[in-house]
């Protein structure tokens, strides 16, 4: 790996990317934030624009990029069903062409590169909780396939570059993450519930609400990404990063209502196709190899997220 201080973050104006930009700037790094602003917003990184070690470049990763950097965090891709299903062909191109272009750049520079993969590579899992050696149960032709299979193909490319070109790669499988700067209209369950409750609307639950998820606060997730990037070269991953504390969608809705208050009710609608019934990471590998586990409780994280959306909607 090239020694140096400069970092390229694709998807840097997005939810996770903007928090990562902040974290690395605090550590004294030079940060190049690359984003095409499909789901990322200028608002997320506006406060960084005057920083002397921060640079913003509007660019789509489906096209090659010619810059100089020492490390690459490849976070670019719409990550919520509403956004990635809006243009599924482009979603697949972002995952696959984006990976090829960023891997090509890393190969030219001999830079270490981290791929933000997803728990969606496990599909609707038959094993619970999910461990990294589970190959998944994914529908390759469904409405979610553009994202699920795109990310699976990106992982394939990363490991082929590792085997064929001896590239230093890091692959993390991100489980549901939440916190300030989530997109208010991304269709994710936490942002949906909070925005609906703050607007006094009924909370929409798909299915019975008994399906489970595990939610990791953004601060914890960023810590995991940084630790993974800085881990020894021989540890490539993939590694699960998420919160193993499991909660039903129904329980989550009730928690949001208690925090926000008001008179919103729960409304039940049919479950979307290929929606996983259970999702919970086994983070044994992250604990062992990275010394990492989540610190922020769901209650504390939800309070911070409610506060963010309250300010956003009032503005």
Which residues are marked as active site?
147
Instruction: State how far the Cα of 159 lies from the Cα of 286, in Å rounded to an integer.
Output: 19
Closest to 14 in 3D by CA, of 295, 218, 217: 218
What's 261's DSSP letter?
A: -
Torsion of CA 219, 221, 226, 227, to 10 degrees: 110
Instruction: State how far the Cα of 98 lies from the Cα of 91, in Å rounded to an integer.
Output: 10
| Residue-by-residue DSSP string for 27-84 | TT-EEEEEE--SS--HHHHGGGTT-TTEEEEE--TTS------SEEEE--S--SHHHH
Query: Residues 106, 36, 173, CA angle at the centre, nearest 5°?
Result: 55
β-strands 246-248, 177-178 pairing? unpaired
């Amino acid at each position: 790996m090239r020694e140096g201080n400069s970092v390229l973050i694709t998807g840097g104006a997005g939810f996770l990317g903007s928090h990562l930009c902040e974290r690395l700037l605090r550590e004294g790094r030079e940060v190049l934030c690359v984003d095409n602003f499909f789901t990322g917003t200028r608002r997320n990184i506006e406060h960084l624009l005057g920083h002397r070690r921060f640079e913003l470049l509007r660019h789509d990763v489906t096209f090659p990029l010619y810059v100089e950097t020492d490390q690459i965090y490849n976070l670019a891709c719409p990550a919520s069903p509403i956004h990635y299903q809006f243009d599924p062909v482009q979603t697949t191109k972002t995952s696959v062409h984006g990976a090829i272009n960023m891997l090509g750049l890393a190969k030219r520079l001999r830079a270490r590169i981290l791929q933000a993969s997803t728990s969606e590579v496990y599909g609707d899992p038959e094993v619970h909780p999910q461990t990294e050696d589970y190959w998944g149960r994914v529908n390759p032709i469904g409405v979610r396939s553009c994202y699920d299979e795109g990310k699976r193909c990106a992982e394939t490319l990363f490991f082929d570059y590792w085997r064929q070109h001896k590239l230093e790669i890091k692959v993390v499988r991100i489980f549901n993450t939440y916190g300030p700067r989530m997109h208010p209209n991304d269709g994710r369950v936490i942002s949906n519930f909070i925005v609906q409750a703050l607007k006094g609307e009924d909370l929409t639950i798909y299915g019975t609400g008994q399906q489970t998820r595990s939610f990791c606060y953004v601060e914890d997730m960023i810590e995991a990404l940084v630790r993974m990037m800085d881990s020894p070269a021989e540890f490539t991953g993939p590694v699960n990063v998420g919160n193993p504390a499991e909660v039903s969608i129904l329980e989550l809705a009730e928690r949001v209502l208690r925090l926000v208050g008001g008179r919103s009710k729960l409304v039940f609608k049919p479950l979307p196709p290929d929606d996983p019934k259970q999702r919970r990471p086994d983070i044994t590998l992250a604990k062992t190899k990275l010394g990492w586990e989540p610190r922020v409780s769901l209650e504390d994280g939800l309070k911070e997220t409610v506060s963010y959306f309250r300010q956003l909607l009032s503005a």
